[in-house]
Amino acid sequence: MFEKLEGVVKRFAEIEKMLSDPKTLQDRSAYEMCSREHAELSPVVEAFGQYQKVVDDLDSSKELLADDDPDIKAMAKEEIASLTERCDELAGQLNRLMVPKDPLDDKNVILEIRAGTGGEEAALFAGDLFRMYGRYAEGRGWKVEIVTHHVTGTGGLKEVIAMVTGRGAYSCFKYESGTHRVQRVPSTETQGRIHTSAVTVAVLPEAEEVELDIDPNEIKVDVYRSSGPGGQSVNTTDSAVRLTHLPSGLVVTCQDEKSQHKNKVKAMKVLRARLFDQMVQEQHSLRSEARKTQVGTGDRSGRIRTYNFPQGRVTDHRIGLTLYKLDDILQGNIDPFVEALTTHHQAAAMQQVASFEP
């Protein structure tokens, strides 16, 4: 690990030199790439520099133990205890920083929420989850844009697909994929019985064109009139778009925009994300051992979380975390789960890399 850290310091120096090179400044793409790498390496270099200084101070304090003055010895022992503790803290920080980063973490996401078992009650809860994620994204300064949605007669959501745009969106949303179960008394229940319903959530990283080349000849494009509640242009123009990817059979529709062109652009983003996700999932299945360390980013059929309204609790079944803050969580405050799942994933990943021992 020490050699890896020295390699990081060397690379950091190279990046800083490149950033000051006029050629890099003139090349926007190269400058952005260097700036991104500089930002990623900076915390590692800073922590390693602090660690090296603490180690030097620790060695100096140990030398003072040989001094004849008892006061100096006592002071040295206090400093050694404090510096050793700080050394351990920095070593742990370096271990976490050196865990390989998910290359998809900085991407925007395609968020797909669908009502499952439970009929109208499931659709109402799908709406609750979408509002929860919208508030969470808003709190982080991310933009949420609906691609397509189907509203039920009671105001619930049978399905909603949206784009969440913002740096690091995938790193926070990726653990939300799976089945979310709700236990509560539906508004239509006259005898006060608790019903259990389910909603499925899929989080897909947005794919860039350079990452996934789609042959236009393999896409069938159909246009038709929009349906359902809406404003001007609904049911009057052929603005809705349906894309069918012939090799895979994937179908994406979009009708929320008045413009056929805008609907097609949005639909293409969803199609690209789904195809990219298929490719990623195939890679994960080939790396079965690595997949075992993942927390909820693989099998989306598994139940991951239960929202129990009578008891006001939310339980994440993957890590056994229960919080009695249901109202707060539904307001978009899901950070406790995001942070706990991230920590759990990092701890599992750290077991597969060499630890940096102080």
pLDDT in tens, 73-99: 899 999 999 999 999 889 888 877 777
Q: Give the residue-averaged pLDDT of 223-251.
A: 72
Q: How many domains does the chain have?
A: 2
Same domain, 116 and 39: no
Average pLDDT over residues 212-241: 70
Q: Worst-scoring range by mean pLDDT, 32-46, 129-143, 147-161, 217-231?
A: 217-231
Distance (Å) of CA 85 to CA 52, 64, 76, 80, 225: 14, 18, 14, 8, 67
Same domain, 166 and 40: no
195-205/109-115 β-pairing: antiparallel
Q: Name beta bridge partners: 250.
A: 245
Q: Which two tokens stand for residue 38?
A: 């500089």
Q: What tens digit of pLDDT does each residue of 158-198 get?
A: 999 999 999 889 999 999 999 999 999 987 676 778 999 99
Q: Measured between alpha carbons, how far is 48 from 174 in angstroms, rounded to an integer?
A: 29
Q: Please say which residue of 34, 64, 97 terminates a domain.
A: 97
Helix/strand/coil percent split, the chain, to 5: 50, 20, 30
16 and 109, same structural domain?
Answer: no
Mean pLDDT of 127-143: 96
Examine the domain organization and report whether 127 and 23 are in the same domain: no
Task: Tell which wins on pLDDT, 349 or 259.
Answer: 259
| Among 105-114, 180-189, 231-240, the least confident range | 231-240
- Can you give the residue range of the structural domain that contains 193? 105-358
> Same structural domain for residues 32 and 170?
no
237 and 157 within one domain: yes
What's the rounded Cα separation, in Å, for the pair 328 and 135? 11
Cβ neighbors of 121 (< 8 A, separation 6 or more) are 182, 184, 186, 188, 195, 197
CATH number, domain of 56, equals: 1.20.58
Residue 12 and residue 140 in one domain: no
Judge if 148 and 225 occupy the same domain. yes
CATH number at residue 210: 3.30.70.1660
Give the span between the Cα atoms of 34 and 195, in whole angstroms: 53
Same domain, 86 and 154: no
Last residue of a domain, one of 73, 97, 121: 97
As a whole number of angstroms, the distance between CA 60 and CA 81 comes to: 13
54 shares its domain with 146 = no
Residue 293 · residue 352 · CB < 8 Å: yes
- Does residue 160 share a domain with residue 39? no
Q: What is the reported pLDDT for 336?
A: 94
pTM: 0.67
Same domain membership, residue 71 and residue 209: no
13 HSE (CA, 13 A, CB side): 5
